[in-house]
């Protein structure tokens, strides 16, 4: 196996809130191979977005900060890098797109002005060359008449077009890593299918690795190689996508997969549910954070936190994983 | 068959829109353009379509939260569209709405108890003691603790807030609830809890729902009858099992194909619907879907399709598409 592109080691992120300091990301480790796609899934507050912001060095300051751990991109430690050096890497080495492109696009500059600025800065292209590259990128993400569209302003574009523009912009300097945080959540299913298709086409063409942060397991199943399931700031399971959906080990993953509304041949009388709600990060239980909602929980689960351990091709943090007997037998 | 609870007849809602910032010319946005359907008591009509198709406007026009431009809505035989102001207000207790973002629709300064008491007081639902009992009953129905009445909306999670929104809609014992993206903002694990709750309420109280959602899987789960909207028009209506197993309109088929499937072994099965929804200010000629349709014929560009009855075995199924019109040669 080749050297991983990104290595995240025991990363923890703290946030100071009115309720005191909470650990939004707790001891998260994973790595990504060049060109592959990792899905980070979980529900609101699980720490998936904070993890991605921490990788980008974009935690909101002063509230959020990396408490411990390391993030290495192609061998370069990012957590201790000076802001100046980090800024040189953002856009060029690693890039990010968000759920709502309007928050990331500047409303007073044309698409072209914003795209060429990035290319001139990071790639040292001339204005003319930068414009040509920008038009080429817009064409590649499926924007019709890109030579005309490039002079339009963000508000003139539809939601789907804006998200495509963001993707074109994020990939224009051919970064090694693209972090996409709920990139299709605000889009209609038909546009979502188009946008996801374009991300994966470009990824293959440019050899970009992608971290896809999403709450949507369906999107993960369709686009990712591996998936990381987070709950309350911790990784509860990591596995190749084919393994995860076939044999989920963690009881939370299992419940989540069962609870996804899906088009079924026969309607169910009731949907499978995960009872209860996600605990407050400020009042976490001492044991497994999922214990209160888990029907397999026993004393061990409420007393101590399970560590992430290998189980075949997966890593699972659970004292009573699904299919345990089968795998040890 | 009994009379339907809700009948929607050629309902339209047009918005005048100024073409440019300083322009005097006005255009008409046909957000809802001649929609008809009916709904039996105790059943759910699921309304799907992409953003901007007019599904939310339709939901609001049914309740007259948007005044319809033309057409008729009757609820239990009463013509809602003909009611005067005070009569409409009285009628509102029979028809309520649940919104996508319960946080935006619940007053942050009022306790849950007051929020629930408000519609009761408005519709003169007994004296204070009776109303208090009703508030407790409502909390119990939606699965919240009695102590919740002393707390404020911000103290609750998203799923609990949606339960409060549901309790408020239920307070005056409506016959019809229009639910607009009621579970879209909720996390998966909570979403299924709320969907199950809505199902329980339906069987318990015989409620009817117009359930508006962009999520086809959710719509399949809750609906008995489904309508697919495109640019202000219903392009297909059918019983839920028919529409999901034998969709007749190319748009319905494309929508179904676009839904992500949580099964990694089934990748690359989809045919992606090209393009985007055209501007409703300037809808395409002929069939409004022809610009994106894989099966478009020359006639689709010029002539508006008729609504064709493709019912089978007494199961009503209508589709507005030239492909099903026996008078059109493909």
Quick one: pLDDT at residue A325?
Answer: 55
Q: Which residues contact A167 (CB under 8 A, 6 or more apart)?
A: A97, A141, A183, A195, A198, A199, A202
B330 lies in some domain: no
B1 lies in some domain: no
Residues A115, A27 share a domain: yes
Residues A89, A59 share a domain: yes
A243 lies in some domain: no
A93 lies in some domain: yes
Is the Cβ pair A217, B244 closer than 8 Å?
Answer: no
Q: CA A244 to CA B309: how far, in whole Å?
A: 44
CB nearest B192 (choices: A188, A269, A271) = A271
Total count of domains within chain A: 2
Query: Looking at beta carbons, which residues of chain B come within 8 Å of A189?
Result: 50, 214, 216, 255, 258-260
Residues A301, A226 share a domain: no
A236 lies in some domain: no
Quick one: pLDDT at residue B184?
Answer: 87
Q: CA B180 to CA B62: how far, in whole Å?
A: 12
Question: The domain that contains B254 carries what CATH number?
Answer: 3.40.50.300
Residues A115, A14 share a domain: yes
- Confirm or reject contact between B253 and chain A (CB < 8 A): no
Kindly state the greatest CA–CA separation across chain B: 69
Pairs of residues, one from chain A and one from chain B, whose beta carbons lie less than 8 Å apart: 126
**Sign of the C-alpha dihedral, residues A58, A59, A63, A65?**
negative
Residues A267, A188 share a domain: no
pLDDT per residue, tens digit, chain B (330 aa), is 578 999 999 999 999 887 666 666 678 889 999 999 999 999 999 999 988 899 999 999 999 999 999 999 999 999 999 999 999 999 999 999 998 877 778 888 999 999 999 999 999 888 999 999 999 999 999 999 999 999 999 988 888 999 999 999 999 999 999 999 999 888 888 899 999 999 999 999 999 999 999 999 999 999 999 999 999 999 999 999 999 999 999 999 999 988 888 888 877 656 678 888 888 888 999 999 999 999 999 999 999 999 999 999 889 999 999 999 999 875
Quick one: pLDDT at residue A326?
Answer: 44
Residues A164, A37 share a domain: yes
Residue of B56, B154, B252, B260 best to disrupt the A interface, most CBs of A under 10 A: B260
CB nearest B187 (choices: A44, A161, A257) = A44
Query: Looking at beta carbons, which residues of chain B come within 8 Å of A273?
Result: 189, 192-193, 196
Pairing of strands A234-240, A226-231: antiparallel
Is the Cβ pair B158, A262 closer than 8 Å?
Answer: no
Last residue of a domain, one of A202, A231, A260: A231
Residue B151: asked if its preceding bond is cis (omega within 30°), the reply is no
Q: CA A217 to CA A256: how far, in whole Å?
A: 8
Q: Which residues contact B216 (CB under 8 A, 6 or more apart)?
A: A189, A263, B48, B255, B256, B259
Q: Which domain holds residue B173?
A: 6-324
Quick one: pLDDT at residue A2?
Answer: 74
Residue of A49, A165, A188, A278 best to disrupt the B interface, most CBs of B under 10 A: A188
Is the Cβ pair B262, A221 closer than 8 Å?
Answer: yes
Going from the C-alpha of B161 to that of each of A272, B62, B131, B133, the distances in angstroms are: 21, 25, 21, 20
Q: CA A123 to CA A131: how far, in whole Å?
A: 12
Nearest CA in chain B to A42: B187
Q: What confidence tens digit (pLDDT) does each residue in B245-270 have?
A: 999 999 999 999 888 888 888 776 56
A205 lies in some domain: yes
A159 lies in some domain: yes
Quick one: pLDDT at residue B12?
Answer: 96
Nearest CA in chain A to B262: A218
- Confirm or reject contact between B279 and chain A (CB < 8 A): no
Q: Which domain holds residue A281?
A: 250-328
Query: Looking at beta carbons, which residues of chain B come within 8 Å of A41?
Result: none
Quick one: pLDDT at residue A329?
Answer: 33
What's the gap in Å between the CA of B76 and the closest CA on chain A?
28
Query: Looking at beta carbons, which residues of chain A come within 8 Å of B188?
Result: 43, 215, 217, 256, 259-261
Going from the C-alpha of B158 to that of each of A48, A98, A291, B185, B186, the distances in angstroms are: 18, 22, 21, 8, 6
A203 lies in some domain: yes
pLDDT per residue, tens digit, chain A (329 aa), is 578 999 999 999 999 988 789 999 999 999 999 999 999 999 888 999 999 999 999 999 889 999 999 999 999 999 999 999 999 898 889 999 988 887 788 999 999 999 999 899 888 999 999 999 999 999 988 888 899 999 999 988 888 889 899 999 999 999 999 999 999 888 888 888 888 988 999 999 999 999 999 999 999 999 999 999 999 999 999 999 999 999 999 999 999 999 888 888 887 888 898 988 888 888 899 999 999 999 999 999 999 999 999 999 999 999 999 987 544 33
Quick one: pLDDT at residue B21?
Answer: 63
In 3D space, the residue among B117, B87, B181, B108 whose CA is nearest the CA of residue B151 turns out to be: B108
A55 lies in some domain: yes
Q: What confidence tens digit (pLDDT) does each residue in B175-196 have?
A: 999 999 999 888 888 899 999 9
Residues A265, A227 share a domain: no
Nearest CA in chain B to A214: B187
Residues A48, A124 share a domain: yes
Q: What are phi and psi of B194, to 5 degrees?
A: -70, -40
Last residue of a domain, one of A231, A260, A291: A231
Provide the ipTM. Answer: 0.84
Residues A131, A52 share a domain: yes
Quick one: pLDDT at residue B264?
Answer: 85
Residues A189, A98 share a domain: yes
Three-state DSSP string of A69-130: EEEEECCEECCCCCHHHHHHHECCCEEEECCCHHHHCCCCCCHHHHHHHHHHHHHCCCHHHH
Residues A255, A226 share a domain: no
A261 lies in some domain: yes
Residues A170, A93 share a domain: yes
Last residue of a domain, one of A171, A199, A231: A231
Pairing of strands B44-48, B208-212: parallel
Question: The domain that contains A104 carries what CATH number?
Answer: 3.40.50.300
Is the Cβ pair B217, A44 closer than 8 Å?
Answer: no
Total count of domains within chain B: 1
Tally of residues, chain A: 329
Residues 90-109 of B with CB under 8 A from A: none
Q: CA B113 to CA B136: how far, in whole Å?
A: 9
């Amino acid at each position: 196996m080749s050297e991983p592109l990104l290595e995240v080691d025991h990363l923890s992120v703290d946030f100071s809130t009115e309720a005191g300091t909470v650990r939004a990301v707790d001891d998260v480790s994973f790595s990504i191979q060049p060109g592959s796609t990792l899905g980070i899934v979980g529900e609101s507050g699980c720490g998936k977005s904070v993890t991605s912001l921490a990788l980008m060095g974009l935690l909101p300051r002063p509230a959020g900060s990396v408490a411990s751990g390391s993030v290495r991109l192609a061998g370069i430690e990012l957590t201790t890098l000076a802001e100046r050096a980090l800024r040189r890497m953002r856009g060029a080495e690693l890039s990010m797109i968000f759920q709502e492109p309007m928050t990331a696009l500047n409303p007073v500059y044309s698409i072209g002005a914003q795209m060429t600025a990035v290319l001139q800065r990071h790639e040292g292209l001339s204005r003319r060359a930068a414009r040509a590259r920008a038009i080429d990128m817009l064409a590649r993400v499926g924007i019709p008449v890109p030579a005309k569209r490039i002079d339009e302003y963000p508000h003139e574009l539809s939601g789907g077009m804006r998200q495509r523009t963001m993707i074109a912009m994020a990939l224009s300097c051919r970064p090694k890593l693209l972090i996409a945080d709920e990139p299709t959540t605000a889009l209609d299913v038909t546009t979502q299918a188009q946008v996801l298709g374009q991300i994966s086409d470009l990824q293959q063409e440019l050899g970009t690795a992608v971290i896809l942060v999403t709450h949507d397991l369906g999107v993960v199943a369709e686009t990712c190689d591996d998936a990381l399931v987070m709950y309350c700031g911790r990784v509860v399971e990591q596995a190749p996508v084919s393994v995860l959906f076939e044999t989920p080990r963690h009881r939370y993953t299992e419940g989540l997969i069962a609870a996804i509304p899906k088009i079924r041949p026969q309607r169910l009388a009731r949907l499978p549910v995960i009872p209860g709600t996600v605990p407050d990060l400020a009042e976490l239980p001492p044991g497994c954070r999922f214990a209160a909602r888990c029907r397999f929980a026993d004393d061990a689960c409420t007393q101590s936190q399970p560590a992430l351990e290998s189980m075949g091709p997966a890593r699972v943090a659970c004292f009573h994983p699904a299919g345990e007997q089968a795998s040890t037998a | 068959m009994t009379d339907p609870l809700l009948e929607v007849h050629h309902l339209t809602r047009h918005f005048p829109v100024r073409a440019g910032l300083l322009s005097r010319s006005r255009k008409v946005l046909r957000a809802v353009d001649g929609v008809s359907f009916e709904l039996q008591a105790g059943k759910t009509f699921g309304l799907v379509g992409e953003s901007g198709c007019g599904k939310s406007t339709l939901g609001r026009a049914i309740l007259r939260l948007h005044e319809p431009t033309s057409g008729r809505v009757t609820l239990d035989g009463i013509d809602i569209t003909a009611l005067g102001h005070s009569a409409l207000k009285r009628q509102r207790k029979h028809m309520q709405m649940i919104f996508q973002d319960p946080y935006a629709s619940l007053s942050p300064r009022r306790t849950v108890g007051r929020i629930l008491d408000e519609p009761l007081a408005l519709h003169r639902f007994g004296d204070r003691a009776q109303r208090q009992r009703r508030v407790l009953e409502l909390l119990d129905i939606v699965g919240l603790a009695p102590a919740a009445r002393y707390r404020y909306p911000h103290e609750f999670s998203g799923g609990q807030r949606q339960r409060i929104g549901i309790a408020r809609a239920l307070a005056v014992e409506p016959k019809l609830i229009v639910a607009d993206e009621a579970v879209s903002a909720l996390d998966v694990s909570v979403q299924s809890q709320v969907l199950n709750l809505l199902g329980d309420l339906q069987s318990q109280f015989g409620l009817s729902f117009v359930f508006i959602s962009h999520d086809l899987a959710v719509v399949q789960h809750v609906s008995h009858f489904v309508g697919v909207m495109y640019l202000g028009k219903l392009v297909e209506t059918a019983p839920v099992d028919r529409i999901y197993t034998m969709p007749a309109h190319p748009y319905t088929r494309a929508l179904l194909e676009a839904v992500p499937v949580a099964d990694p072994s089934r990748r690359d099965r989809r045919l992606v619907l090209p393009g985007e929804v055209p501007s409703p200010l300037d809808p395409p000629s002929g069939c409004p879907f022809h610009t994106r349709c894989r099966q478009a014929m020359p006639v689709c560009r010029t002539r508006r399709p008729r609504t064709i009855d493709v019912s089978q075995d007494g199961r009503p199924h209508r589709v507005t598409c030239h492909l099903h019109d026996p008078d059109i040669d493909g």
